[in-house]
Structures are given as structure tokens and as C-alpha cells.
Chains A and B, each alone.
Chain A
Amino acid sequence: MLPPGTPFVSSTFSRVSTVLGRDVVLGNLRRNQEELLRIQEQLATGFKVLRPSDDAIASNRVLDFQLRIRRDEQFVRNIDRGVSRLETSDDALGGMNDLVTKAKTISLQQVQSTATAATRLTAATEVSALLKQAVNLGNTQFEDRYLFGGSRSESTPFLVVGNAVAFGGDVRAFDADVADGLRAQTNVTSDALGVLSDEIRGVDLTPGPTFLQPIDLDPRVSDSTKLSALNRGEGVRLGSIQVTGTGTATIDLRIAETVGDVRDLINAQTGTTGVSVLGFNPALNGLQLTSVAPITVQEVGNGVTALDLGIQVTGAVSPFDGGDLDPNVIEETLIGDLRGGLGLDPAGVAITNATSGSSFSATVAPGSTVGDLLNNLNTANVYVDARISSTGRGIDVLSRLSGGRLTIAENGGATANQLGLLSTLAHAGIEDLNGGQGVGSADGLDIKITKKDGTVAYFDVDNATSVQALVDAIDNTAGLDATITGAGLNQIEITDTTVGAPTFTIVNFNGSYAATNLGIAGTAAATITGTPLTFDGVQPVGLFTGLIRLRDALLANDTIGINQAARLLEQAQKKVLTARADAGARTASMELTKNRLENEKLELKKLMSDSRDADLAEVATQFQIQQTVLEASLAVASRILQTSLFNYL
């Protein structure tokens, strides 16, 4: 748009033709009118940028702002939904908290001396009602979706199974996008409520320094192993490597997906490099390179591919055994590849879980995968959650049945031991001993050991997370050795290695019955071997278990059981409160994000307006000016065009 008044009259030539005069006048008129039209467009729409070609940079910004504003509005919508969901969950959790408090009160009352078998029976009915309410709360719905079922939100998460309560959902998070690149979890997952047991986690059951450490099933590497599973799940940062044997070649490994692909890519260049990968190292956990010449494998540029693949080396003698690729256990891992290629005993495991002893035997077929085994366990009717452990090195089997006891035993072979899932005394909890009655511990110190040299050691069993932990605590004390022995590994044995008095003693302390119930109370010259102990399987520690145990203890008129149930309810309440706090924190954080988004939206709208909107006052003024100019222009034009010499001849 050329502005009106752009000079047409050049001062180098003073002759003007008739047509020239007409054209100049017409040209200026046209420009005036065009300018008026443009201004009118601005006034009618309120925008000064109507199409990208008007101002490409401004329109680019406008488009950008528009996108961001809409995105922020969507995030706010997501946050609102998420917050509603969390608030409804929080209400349900509040209800659960109240139930637990009521149950605790009942348990307190019914251990008093004033309580009788009759009062306990009545109380049991009350607790039954509380349990029913808890199940209902657990099955709270929000917009036709069960809140506590994880991603299984269409089916009831909590089911009453006989005397127990089974959890049928999962513990997946339900996420929503709440800001650019920020995803927030908008549900409360039920593991926070303690509906899954904390055990049974695969642990190393071989005696020795790794005893009871998380098990490492150490899958061996094969051609089909995915690169993403290597290095304990960290994968391999793919790039190029430079391989030198008799010759040198740079090999681009970026298209490789499996270990077999890497092999193929390296072997494709054997003609040039003289280096080939024929197989795996003797430990079966890394690559093996062979060549007639010394082998060098180097990175290209700043890459770390050779390092991640365990084959970074200079001048190695053939055959060169690459480092441990350490693949994680994934669902596709073949059972036969576990334990460095030894696989698992096909006999399988026997699982028992329930108040009434329903059991399941899962055999391990050759050629099957870890995923098959997990599927087998999960679809059986024993209410377990079998999964690959969070470390990715083993398998965990958790109980979903509140009120049940989960034990895993051998099915005639050694599979449970190999998987580290065998239920043993060592990693049983103290409270699970003696038919679930525990050891009658007291607050504070429970056991007093007087050694032969006269020194005394005290132990608090409540500090021990498992029997093994207690045994370790005793073992770590100077002058004492402790271990778990016996044919069934169910006896605690303590040896006094000091000298002095002829015997050492172990007694209950502070009103506790722990030493007796652990079978180690007594006196001996050198070693006390405890009586064989029984232990129950693991159970979820949560409000359902607490209520069920309380009800059962009340029905059985069992004060010890009531106390145990009270302890469970204590832990359950902690969990519920923690879950509430978590939900609350998340809600608060999302509200903060929402505020930020609302502010950002306002800012963006303002910026967009600055870029796009016309300043109406300014435009209206321009319009006036242009109109005046047009009128003047028209007046002058008519004068010019009319004047001619012929008027005067």
C-alpha cells in the first residue's frame, strides 16, 4: 500500500500531457479510497492484523498465543476434574478414618476387665457392620467410575469373599495433563490403603551374605533380548562404534532393537574388520568377540554405545569377553534364561491364600515366559498380585485378600526356593508367629540375655521387621551368635561365645512373653536351641484386615487377638491418614498450578490483544483524516480536469 501523495511529478521534465494529468489525479484518488477501505476493514473487525500477509510476524505470535491460551484452558478443565475426583476420594478416606477410630475404641473397651464373652459377641456384630461400611466406602463411585480400583474402574474393587475381603482392582495411577509437560496423578491408589500385602517379595534364600536380599534372577543374554532391558533396565544409548581387528570400520547401531541385531550389524562388517561376534561369553551374560588380530572397539564422537554394550576395549586378545549386559527380567524373558540359563524347576509352586485354605499349584512349562507364569498366578483363584519386582530383577507375589494368609510352598521341587518366594520363618513377621498370635511383646524391651561374662543385652522385638532381623540383631551383639536352624528352618539357635559363668540365660523382660513364645527362654552352657515355631502367611496390613481380625478375635473371645487387631488398626489408620495427606497435597499443588495457568492465560490474552487488536481511537482519527483528504483531493481534481485553453478560444 503506497501512501497517497507519493510524488508522480518528476522535476527533470516540465511537460505534462493531458493523459498524464488525468492519471495522476486518478491514481491519487484510488489510493485515497484504498486507504479508506483498509481503515474501514479495521474498524469493522476490530483487528489490525486480518491475514498473515498483513504482518507475518504478528500473526505468527497471534496463532501461538491462541494455541497456548486454549491449552491452558484445557489444563484448567483437567485440573477441575482431577480435583473433584481427589476430593471425593478424600471424603471416602475420611469416612474410613472414622470407621477405624470407632473400631479402635471398641477394641480398647473389649480388652478391659469389664468385658465379657457376651459383650464381645455384641461388639463383633458392630464390627461386622463397620466392615460392611468400609467395603461400601471402598467401592465409592465418582461419575460412574470406581475411585479406588485403579484402572479397573468398571468393576467393583472390593468383594466380600467368605469371611474375607478381596481387592479386585489394580494400583495403576490415573493421570491427567495439568500443565505443559506436567502430568499429575488424580486418583488414590489402593496400595496406599494397605489392601495389598507388603510381601512376598522374591529374596535370596541361599545362606550367606546375600541372605534375604532382593533376589537377582539374573537372566542370561540371548539374541532376542531387547536392548531396552539391558543394564538393569537403563538400556543402551545407541550410536556408532568403531571396530578394529585386521581392519577398521565404523558401525552404526542405531537401528538395532535386540542383542541379535547388534550381533548381525557387527558381523556384517567382519569382512572389513576381521572381528566377529560368534556367541556370548562363558558367563552367558555378555557378547564375545573373536578375531585373528587384537581387538579394539572405540566410541565414535561422544557416544557411549560401546561402553553400554560392555565391549569398549583396546588391543584385546581374542576371544574377548564383553562385560555383563545385565538384562532385567521382563515379561518376555524366557523362564529357561533365568538364573544365568539354569532356568527354573518345572515342578512349580503351591500357593495357599485364604481363610479356608484354597490353594493353587502353578507349574512352569518349558519354553514359557515370565509373563506366562505371572498370568497363571494372577488368573488363578487365590487372590494374588504376581508382578515383576520394582528392581526388575525378580518376582514378587502379593496377597490381595484381606483376612487371608498367603503362603508359598514347593510343589514337589525347588522352584519356590529358586524364585526366592518360599515362605520361611526367616522372613516371617514377628506378629505372624504362632498362628498369627505373635509373641506377646510388650512396649519397649522384651528379651534379656545375661551372658556368661556377666554382660547383659536387651532386645525389643517390635523393632524387628522379620524374625531374621531379630536374629541378626542378636547375632550382631558382641559375644552372641544367632541363626535359624532345624530341618524345617524353624528354630532359633543362640550361642554364647563369652567365658565366665558356667551358663547364660535368656528371659522375658518387662512383662513381655517374647522369649517364651520365641522358644528361646531358658538356660544353657553354650547353645540354646529354640523350640520349633509355626508361622502364618503374610497378610495385607490395612483397615480391612484390621476389622476382620478384630471381628474374628471378638467372636473367638481372644484378648490377645483383640490386641493384635488393635495394633493392625493403628497401622491402618496411619496409612489412611497418609493417603489423605497425599491426596490433599496433590490437590493443593494442582490448585496452585491452576492459579498459575489462570494468570498466564490473562497475560497471554493481553499480549495477543496488543499484537492483534486495532487501537480504535487511533483508527477512527485516521479515518477522519483520510476522509478530509479525499474530499480535498476530489475538489482539486475537478478543478484541474475542467481547465483547458479551449474554454477561452
Chain B
Amino acid sequence: MVLLSSLNTALTGLNSAMAALQTTGHNIANASTPGYSRQRVEMEANRALDYGRFEIGRGVNLKRIQRLVDESLEGRLRDSTATLGNLSVQSENLQRIEALLDALSDSDLGTHLDNLFEAIQDWANDPDDVSARNGVLEAARTAADSFNYVSGQVRRQREQVNDEIVVTVGEINRLTDEIADLNRQVLLQENGGVDVGTANDLRDRRGLLARQLSDLIGVTTVETTTGEINVLAGSAYLVFGQQSYALTTSQKVVDGLLFDTPVFASGSANLTAAGGKLAGLIETRDNLTREFQQGLDQLAHELAFQFNRIQSTGQGLERFSLLTSRDGIPVSTVPIAIEGSVTSASTANTLMDSSLVGAASPVGRQFIVLGGRNVLEKRTITDFDPVNGTLFFDGDMPAPLAIGDRYQITELEFPVVNGSFQYVVTNEITGSQQKFTITVDLDRIGADTTLADVAAQLNAALPGSATILPDGKLRLQSPTNDVRLAFANDTSGFVAAIGLNTFFDGTDGESIRVNPDLLIKPSLLSAAKSNADGDNSNALEFAALRSKGVVSGASLEDFYQGLVGTLGTRTSEMKNRAENQQLVLQQLENQRERTSGVNVDEEAVKMLEFQRAFQASARFLAVVDTLLDTLINGL
């Protein structure tokens, strides 16, 4: 009967209005919930009863509650978040380094270098004055301390970034586990994939987690037909259905520090972090900070070498009766240094140089790279292939060696070339100086000079003066009290490289320091090139170093300015990119808000609408009830 079915019609009206009201209430309550997409009730008219000539409708049917979300927009949001995560990490770290360097202030490394050269000029005006000498040593000490500080802080920053990588990996694992679990719950709630798309709040939460994951490591998602999502980082699965693939870290030693590389725990695939904070952290640790550190180390290395060259070939107010080198060559019968350059592209742990074909085996020796992206890297040779001229060594290079990169096989920290130096023997009583030429033949033709050869030449000049110590260091001692030793005119660099009469000890930013012997005895600072006390020609050479192009063709100060400039440009560029990306992300989020965000006023209007609908249906129900009552009780 139509009347009885009208009751049902009223009931459907009441129910759907109620459901709509509840949904409105749900929307209003979640207006500020992050990741929430507003829900909308979809209703359709019920199937009408067919009475032949006409049909009478049977009310409303709640078809479903729809979550309003633009999936492609969600995808773009994830990508944008990943990019921002990457850029903001890099920008922040670059700004930290910039603040550390503080280049425009009056107490930065560049100013200290400047002060050193000024102190040297004052010393050149007063070469034998003790306070002028002390001024130079103080300024040198401050500069060395500055190097140590900045280098140490950069290293600490690298270590911190490494720690953050480990923490981020843990976060990623937590998120992938949750997403996998949500996949299970969604499947359950959607009745095994039958009612796909109905688990609105679970899906919202899953989408939010996917965005958070993308912030950490850029991901893409693919929804399956059963309503689960698979999460990929690049082409490797982080989540497949209800299975999450955990990440872990593998450790290896790089630059003397223990670094963690994120990898899949199961080893099932290669992990490439192309976006997100993880990518930013890895880039910061492995490239940004490393390149800056490398620049600092190059500067410190060259500063030490050049100052040592000038100090070692001059004479102070007194010369030496006993002098031991800082460095040594353990095997005294091999050439002091063998110079070459890379002739074929090499992998990360090989070096190919055609000039080594057929050469004697250098296994066990060390070599140092003198140019290119791996400058100042030192390795020990573990194997040698004389057919192709290939060296194998321990520990990968940060980047594969390129054709044309120069290197030297030597245990010393500084390069030595074909040349000679003079051994100056002074009779302190008569004041006469004898200069003996010591050849350092390193042209790779015939027999090259070994450490034993050098000692032999020194002893030929002044018998009994040179000894090679067990660790390969060279010791010089004058046989009598009135004879003193010094050096001059070193075109080979040997005296400075092996560390005789040094100005600076140490070879890079963290290790550089003033030779403690000089600090104790400032009279050893070489102002002169002779034994005349008022000779300032060597001090003037120190001063001339200021404008000599010694680091890749640039002077020390210009190289520093270059470092500052590069850092400044990079930082500024990264800051801008991060800010622009912020803007893009903001635009996308606003877009999302327009589509999926709750407008409370809109909900208020809807609320009125559904309230009236409920009231109207209730009224109708009352009317039908009255009709029925008339029928039943009136008969």
C-alpha cells in the first residue's frame, strides 16, 4: 500500500538528512585537521514503485559519502614537498657555513691572513728586532688557529648532518610501516576492495603520511585496483601493498670520518634518494661541505708549503747545529717522488697512467693527487699492473680521477720536482759560508735521486753531517761546534717537503700550526739569505708571496676570496630557490584548500538546509501517521 511505503519514504528522508547533518558536523569538527578532505553526501532518489501507468518514488537513498580530493594535485604537492625538503636542508647548511666563515667581519680567516702579511712587512723593516719577529709568529699562530677552528667546525657539521641522515632513515621506516598498516586497514574497511574509495578518513591519513614521507625522501604513489597504495622512491618500492621495505645504513670511512649510507635492509634494490631531506642531507655531507673543506685544505696546504719553502731556504739570526726533518721516506732507496698524470679515465679506486707501463712496482708506496676534483687526496698503493700502468689503492676517491689530473708517488705531503738545493755550511767564527749544490734528479730518466742519495751528497759536502733515521726522517748535525748549517736556493722543493726548518707544521686546515721551535726561538725566523744580520731579503720574499699566484694560479688571498665568493653565490642561489619553492608549495596548498578545505560558513548553510530537510521529513512522517491513524481507527 502506498501509505505504508510512504512511512518508509519519510524514514529515508530522515535518515539521509541525519547522515548529511552528521557529515556536516564531521566537516566542521575537522575544519583545521591537517590533511583532511571535506566530505560530501551524495544522494540519489530511490527506485520508484511501478504502478503501470505511473511511478511513485520511494524516497532518497544515500549513495555514498564522497571525499573531495584532487589526486593529481596531491601528487604535485608531494613532489613539491620533496623538492622543498631538499632545498631547505641545503640552504640552511650553506647559511651555517657562511655564518661560520663570517667573511665580512674583522676577525675572519681572510683578515688574519692579511694581518700575517702586514706583520711580515713590519718585520722586513726591522729584520733582527725580536718584537717584530714575535709579531709575525703571533699573527701566524692566530691564522693557524683560525684555520683549525673553521675546519673543525665544518667537520663537526658534517658529522651532525650524518647523524641527521641516520635519524631520517629511522623516521622513513616508521612512516612506511604505518602506511603499510593503513593499507591493511583500508582494505579491511573497504570490504576487501569491494567498496573502493569509502574509507575516507583512513585515506586522508594515508595521504598525509605519504606527504610526510615525501618530505623526507621524495616518493611517488600508485593506487592499486584494491585500494592499496604502493610507494616508490625512484623505481624501488618502499611499500608494496601491506609490505613495507625497511631502510638501514651501511657504514664506511670517508675522509677519516665514519659515514652512513642509506640502503635497503634486504639489499633487494638500490636506493636513490632523488628528493626530500635525505637527498639534501646526503648532498650537503658528500658535496657541499666536502668541497668547502677541500678548498680550505688546499689553502692551508699551499700556505704551509710556500711559507716552508721560503723559511727553509733563508737564514735566521742563527743557523742550526742539529736539525731533524718533520717527515720522512721509510724506504731510502726509492726515488723521492715520481710525478705523473692520469692518461685514461679511471674508476673510483684505480689510477691509469701510461707512463707507468713497465715501471718498477710501487706497491706499498703512497701517492698524493695534485689537481682536479680529488686534489690533496692521499692513498696507499695496494696493487700494480705494469702492462697497462694501473695503480690500485685502498679507499675510493670522492670522484673518479679524470684525464690530466697530476699526481706524485711519494710518502711526503708536498710535491717535489726535478731541481736542486744548496747546503750552506757556515763557519761561525770567520763568517764565511760555503754553498754546496745537492742535486735532486727526478726527471724519471735514468736513476732518480733517492733519500740515500741526498744523504750521501750532504755527507760528501760535510762529512758525518747527514743521517737517515729508522723512520725515514733526515737528521742533520754539524760535526763541530763552530760550524752551522742552513739551506738556500731550493728549486726542487725537497727541503720544505721533507720538513727541514719549517714555518708551519701540518698539511691541512685542521692540522696546520706554527712550528713550535720557532715559537720558542724567534731568532730562527729566516729574514736573511746570508749571515748578515741586517739582511732582509728573505723577509721581503715572504712579503712578495702575498701577490704570487701559488694556488691554482691565484694568490693566497685571491683564492680565499674565491672560496668566499663561491660560497656566497651558492648560498644566495640556494636561499632564493628554497624561497621560490616555498612559494610554489604555498600556491599548491592553497589550491588544495580550495578543493578540499572546509569553509565553515558553507557548512553552516548546509547545516540549515539539512536541518529543514529533517524537519520537513519529520512533518511528513507525522502527516502520514495521522492518515494511517484515520484509516486504522476510523473504520
Contacts and interface: CB of A to CB of B under 8 A. Distances in A.
Interface of A is mostly: mixed
A150 to B, nearest CB: 7
Contacts of B126: 143
Interface string A252-270: 0001111001001101100
Given A70-B118, A372-B434, A2 B583 contact: yes
Contacts of A257: 418-420, 491
A331 B434 CA distance: 10
Nearest to A378: B432
Nearest to A380: B430
Nearest to B544: A177
Report the contact-size class of chain B (Cβ under 8 Å from the partner).
35 or more
A47 to B, nearest CB: 8
Contact of B547 (A19, A181, A258, A644): A181
Interface in B569-589: 569, 571-572, 575, 579, 583, 586-587, 589
A144 B130 CA distance: 12
A586 interface: no
Nearest to A372: B434
Given A67-B557, A151-B535, A175-B536, A49 B104 contact: yes
A323 B126 CA distance: 47
A175 B534 CA distance: 11
B418 A255 contact: yes
A177 B103 contact: no
Nearest to A228: B491
A329 B433 CA distance: 18
Report the contact-size class of chain A (Cβ under 8 Å from the partner).
35 or more
Contact of B445 (A2, A56, A155, A265): A265
Contacts of A2: 579, 583
A176 interface: yes
Interface stretch (B389-397, B594-602, B616-624, B625-633): B594-602
Nearest to A9: B590
Interface string A1-38: 11000101010010111111001100100000000000
B533 A8 contact: no
Interface stretch (B249-257, B498-506, B559-567): B559-567
A443 to B, nearest CB: 44
B185 to A, nearest CB: 26
A649 interface: yes
A50 to B, nearest CB: 7
Interface stretch (A74-82, A275-283, A421-429, A488-496): A74-82
B561 A60 contact: yes
B583 A20 contact: no
B604 A649 contact: yes
A172 B537 CA distance: 10
Contacts of A268: 445
B122 interface: yes
B114 A17 contact: no
Contacts of A175: 536-537, 540
Given A63-B104, A151-B534, A261-B418, A6 B583 contact: yes
Contacts of B117: 74
B83 interface: no
Contacts of A49: 104
A457 B581 CA distance: 103
A411 to B, nearest CB: 20
Interface in A61-77: 62-64, 66-67, 70-71, 74, 77
A51 B96 CA distance: 11
A379 B430 contact: yes
Contacts of B129: 144
List 9 A-B pairs, minimum CB-CB distance, nearest first: A17-B597, A52-B568, A153-B534, A151-B535, A53-B571, A154-B533, A20-B593, A151-B532, A53-B572
21 contacts: A15-B599, A16-B599, A17-B596, A18-B32, A18-B598, A18-B600, A19-B31, A19-B32, A52-B568, A53-B95, A62-B104, A67-B110, A74-B121, A143-B126, A150-B532, A151-B533, A154-B534, A174-B536, A176-B124, A331-B435, A649-B608
Given A149-B534, A224-B437, 6 more contacts: A70-B114, A71-B546, A78-B125, A177-B543, A180-B547, A375-B433
